[in-house]
A and B are shown apart, each in its own frame.
Chain A
């Protein structure tokens, strides 16, 4: 059996180049869909987190590193390079160990704030209200303590959401806490505050189930988890700042909805023309965009046509 199978596979794939792609578990479903549809390379895809993806790329083990966050100076530092070479937009001004990480935005992830199906009082929230619910700066203990929700029942707020090691967590709080990550950061998250209201989990399906089971729970995760299970929980319409222009979270409304984050693939430099990585990136940015909504993410053109054309011009 051994020789039979290996033999026939080798014969079929003698000319097909092999690529290794690894990193963020958010990008993973998307990467798998692309790898499957693209038939001119044999791409093996794995997860392990954004840090693992960038680390593997910098160590020369992976051809493509997936990241749901931007590359940071500490990613360079980890492999013994100068952290100052990394710019604040996640690009690098010089190579590290012979690898020049180059950022490609490949899709957008809409972040959905969700509540229990029986919740009829918090169906729309603005950033100020989210701030009162999710941070330790004078946090609301009961639902009716949230500004504007005075008619809500006097029930304890319970938060089920991603843990602090997740990129979603970082993005969510960057949105609602002013100066997030800087020295004058205005507040801490309720998880860091430690009042026992924020119950983190690394598994979004677990969060989904927890909110489904708890009538007064609130949480957030990638829109894909809502899209596949729309009957289990309810999404909250969101308005920026203290505004009242509540926007529905959906793939098509991404241009107006305030909470959407870019998903990245990093490669070593801009791959040369005729290089398989170049062709693969070209596929991802053109035909590959058609399957993005199927996986639950937003295609680039819906957010900003310019990003797409700029990137295509580089290839």
Chain B
């Protein structure tokens, strides 16, 4: 690659535009590099916020660092407080782990079906439906867990009123859109010649899908799981509503548990005066930050291993001597051998006839389509629930009037406008930043320590609880940069929150463009930016669109990051980016908590509006995506 660049350079020397070209090229790369590096600035801001908050915690006489890490009781208030983080940790692991255990197989199964077996028509209907799941405000999921799912566990298994199980079930649905969308994109992007070769060798479609397509798309699949995990780790609303607010050291999903994020949100939005219980929330946030960083570090090593395993052995780099790496190797080997043994014991090995292989394909197809059907049934159930509740509140007057304390006068006009401005601004910031960062990481950066670190930091941002973004935004944007509680502050916070989704999705889209495209373009004398601009980016558009849509869907439904910035009542709509604003999720959040039942109908009506906006966004994306895909000929 480097050699080629040199050749093109010397050829360019006789070109009268050489200098200009070079300058432009360099400044673009610099721009891309800085947009990627913003993640580091943001992480520093988050760590600063967390450290500043937890400083008084660790210096408090009531706190002992050893007890904090190994203590088994978390009782933050009272005259005998105890700060052992293990109960919060167990709650977090139980809920996020459980959600992933259910959500990841269903998500990957659905993606497999969508990308390999579904017809174009089914695909174009189902994919936007699943992406709508991403935008349903988490408070809706929370009530769904508490009111619909929780009674099932209470009646059948004797679970307590608040229980982890209902949160796990609902959260496994919440992580689906991220896992399905990104896995599907990366499986869809596996070059056709790989599939064709496999089919030509006589493999069934099922064998091709599981043994050729899935391994080839493994980096995208793992990235999607990581983003899903991050979503589950950072989720607050579902847990506080359905799982309870008592930190219990237990792994029994029928019990009441509290997660780390739930504690942070509880304290940050409470009335409790500043003190050790409040600063404890920052220490908890710090621990969560470190945990997600550790998970991302390990996962990136797994990705490296899977990649080097799937490629030819010549390229295998000298072995990493680190313990973690070896541990993963051994663990993997044990797991595969166990799995093989397990398979061979339950199956009396018959001759692998074509009939058996096709039967296997049929069975597999049924299983993966079931995954998809499960997701869709759940969504339809959820949607009918919301629509029957909220349809009565919808009217022209509701859309055109201002909020009110009288439910029959209340409307969402400024709320709608506020959210639309917020989304436009967020897109304006997040799209160039995220896509730029992804282009830098994938096209220009060498595989250095710095870029690996950057990647991890970006993925790490996805796991930061949204309430922490809210606290950071309050410190940095509102106070340090003095933007005040304004549209600008709100959209910058949302930008940071959704940045990882845009970056990861774009990177996956870029990775899916065959290397031959780039080689070809470079070979005829294009610069690297020209190659990216004219040959890589146009072909990666569908994937990039997915990323942007997913991220906006996420942003439109989030309450916590803008909780300290957005308002729930105003008589005017913002006229500049420095004005305050109202936003849909905040209004929904406020109305669901309102004592008057009528407001809960209005909250449901507002949710319907959010869903409509999501549908419109998705349909736009589909049109763009399908146009791009129909042009694809590789």
Decide whether A and B are members of one complex. Answer: yes
| Interfacial chain B residues near A75, Cβ < 8 Å | 273-274
State which of A13, A165, A192, A209 has its C-beta within 8 Å of the C-beta of B78: A192
Residues of chain B from 236 to 291 with CB closer than 8 A to chain A in the complex = 240-241, 244-246, 248, 256, 266-275, 277-278
Whether the Cβ atoms of A203 and B593 lie closer than 8 Å is yes
Taking CB atoms, residues of chain A closer than 8 Å to B593 are: 25, 203-205
- A33 adjacent to B405 (CB under 8 Å): yes
Known contacts A59-B479, A227-B595: does B274 contact A192 (CB below 8 Å)? Answer: no
Q: Which of A3-11, A144-152, A272-280 contacts B (4 or more CB under 8 A)?
A: A3-11
B150 to chain A, nearest CB (A): 10
| Contact bitstring A173-208, B, C-beta under 8 A = 1, else 0 | 000000000010100110110101011111111100
> How big is the B interface, by class?
35 or more
Interface residue A262 (Cβ < 8 Å from any Cβ of B) = no
Instruction: Indicate if A252 sits at the interface (CB-CB under 8 A).
Output: no
Q: Which of chain A's residues has its CB closest to B265's CB?
A: A202
- Cβ of A229 within 8 Å of any chain B Cβ, yes or no, is yes
Roughly how many angstroms separate A29 CA and B405 CA in the complex, as a whole number? Answer: 7
- Determine whether B77 belongs to the interface, using a CB cutoff of 8 Å to chain A: yes
Nearest opposing residue in chain B for A291, CB measure = B405
B595 and A296 contact, CB distance less than 8 A: yes
Contact assessment for A46 and B567 in the assembled complex, using a CB-CB cutoff below 8 Å: yes
* Docked-complex contact B80 and A188, CB < 8 angstroms: yes
A201 touches B162 (CB 8 A): yes
Most buried by A among B79, B160, B478: B79
* Size bin of chain A's contact surface: 35 or more
Are B273's CB and A74's CB within 8 A? yes
Contact yes or no, A36 B479, CB < 8 A = no
Determine the distance from Cα of A294 to Cα of B405 in the docked complex, in whole angstroms: 9
Tell me if A84 counts as interface (CB < 8 A to partner B).
Answer: no
Most buried by B among A69, A163, A170, A202: A163
A213–B161 Cα distance when bound, in Å, is: 9
Check B270 against A51 for contact (C-beta < 8 Å): yes
Is A239 part of the contact surface with B, judged by Cβ < 8 Å?
A: no
Q: Is A24 an interface residue (CB 8 A)?
A: yes
- Given contacts A170-B272, A199-B246, whether A36 and B404 have CB atoms under 8 Å apart is yes
A135 to chain B, nearest CB (A): 11
Q: Is the CB of B564 within 8 A of A52?
A: yes
Is residue B75 contacting chain A, with contact meaning CB distance below 8 A? yes
Q: In the complex, A206 Cα to B161 Cα: how many Å?
A: 11
Provide the bound-state CA to CA distance between A61 and B580, in Å. Answer: 12
- A213 CB contacts on chain B under 8 angstroms: 161
- Contact of B569 with A45 in the complex, beta carbons under 8 Å: yes
**Are A5 and B573 also in contact (CB < 8 A) when A20-B485, A44-B580, A74-B275 are?**
yes
Contact status B595-A224, CB under 8 Å: yes
Interface centre among A6, A13, A203 (most CB of B within 10 A): A203
Contact with A along B438-470 (1 / 0, CB 8 A): 000000000000000000000000000000000
Q: Are B271 and A228 in contact (CB under 8 A)?
A: no
When C-beta atoms are compared, the residue in chain B nearest to A228 turns out to be: B595
B271 touches which one: A9, A67, A74 (CB < 8 A)? A67
A238 contacts the other chain (CB 8 A):
no
| Interchain CB contact under 8 A, B569 and A9 | no
Question: Is A246 engaged at the interface, CB distance under 8 Å to the other chain?
Answer: no
B256: A residues at CB distance < 8 A: 196, 199
A160 surroundings in chain B (CB, below 8 A): 161
Closest Cβ of chain B to A201, distance in Å, is 6
Residue of B nearest to A295 (CB): B405
CA distance A72 to B274 in the complex (A): 8
User: Is there an interface contact between B572 and A49, defined as CB atoms closer than 8 Å?
Assistant: no
Q: Which A-chain residue is minimally distant from B570 (CB atoms)?
A: A44
Q: Which residues of chain B come closer than 8 Å to A33, judged between CB atoms?
A: 405
Question: What CA separation (Å) do A55 and B278 show in the bound complex?
Answer: 13
A164 within 8 A of B: yes
Given the complex, which residues of A lie within 8 Å of B244, measured CB to CB? 199-201
List residues of chain A with CB within 8 A of the CB of B571: 13, 35-36, 42-43
Does A125 interact with chain B (Cβ within 8 Å)?
no
Confirm or deny: B431 has a beta carbon within 8 angstroms of a beta carbon on chain A. Answer: no
Who on chain B is nearest to A42 by CB?
B571
Q: Is the CB of B573 within 8 A of A9?
A: yes
Of residues 253 through 305 on chain A, the ones whose CB sits less than 8 Å from some CB of chain B are 291, 294-296
Residues of chain A contacted by B565 (CB below 8 angstroms): 46
Give the nearest-CB partner of B580 in chain A: A44
Cα distance A20–B581 in the bound complex, in angstroms: 11
**Is B597 a contact partner of A48 (Cβ separation < 8 A)?**
no
Residue contact A5 to B274, C-beta cutoff 8 Å = no
Tell yes or no: A210 within 8 A of B by CB: yes
A132 to B572, CA, bound (A): 51
Once the chains bind, are A24 and B569 in contact (CB under 8 Å)?
Answer: no
Contact yes or no, B146 A6, CB < 8 A: no
Assuming the contacts A36-B569, A295-B405, asked whether A49 and B270 have C-beta atoms less than 8 A apart, the reply is yes
Within 8 Å CB of B590, what residues of A? 28, 47
Given contacts A6-B573, A36-B569, contact A52 B269 (CB under 8 A): yes
Please tell me which one of the listed residues A32, A189, A194 contacts residue B569 in the complex, with CB atoms under 8 A apart.
A32
Q: Tell me the nearest residue of chain B to A213, going by C-beta.
A: B161
B568 lies within 8 A of chain A by Cβ = yes
Q: 1/0 contact trace for A66-105 toward B, CB 8 Å?
A: 0111001011011000000000000000000000000000
The proximity string for A residues 36-66 relative to B, scoring 1 for CB distances below 8 Å and 0 otherwise, is 1000001111111111100100010100000
List chain B residues, Cβ under 8 A from A48: 269, 563-564
CA distance A203 to B272 in the complex (A): 15
A167 beta carbon closer than 8 Å to chain B: yes
Which listed residue (B161, B268, B564) contacts A214, Cβ 8 A? B161
Please, how many angstroms separate the alpha-carbon atoms of A267 and B439 in the complex? 50
Q: Is the CB of B80 within 8 A of A192?
A: yes
CA of A160 to CA of B162 in the docked complex: distance in angstroms?
10
A51-B271, A201-B245, A228-B596 known; 12 new pairs, CB 8 Å cut-off, are: A5-B417, A9-B572, A35-B569, A45-B570, A48-B564, A69-B273, A77-B274, A160-B161, A163-B245, A200-B244, A203-B593, A229-B597
Pairs A–B under 8 Å by Cβ, sample size 13 = A13-B572, A22-B485, A29-B595, A44-B569, A47-B590, A52-B564, A55-B274, A67-B271, A75-B274, A185-B79, A205-B592, A222-B595, A228-B595
Contacts from A to B (Cβ < 8 Å): 5-6, 9-10, 13, 20, 22, 24-26, 28-29, 31-33, 35-36, 42-52, 55, 59, 61, 67-69, 72, 74-75, 77-78, 158, 160, 163-167, 170, 183, 185, 188-189, 191-192, 194, 196, 198-206, 209-210, 213-214, 222, 224-225, 227-229, 291, 294-296
Interface residues of B (CB under 8 A from A): 73, 75-80, 146-147, 160-162, 240-241, 244-246, 248, 256, 266-275, 277-278, 403-405, 417, 478-479, 484-485, 563-575, 580, 586, 590, 592-597, 600
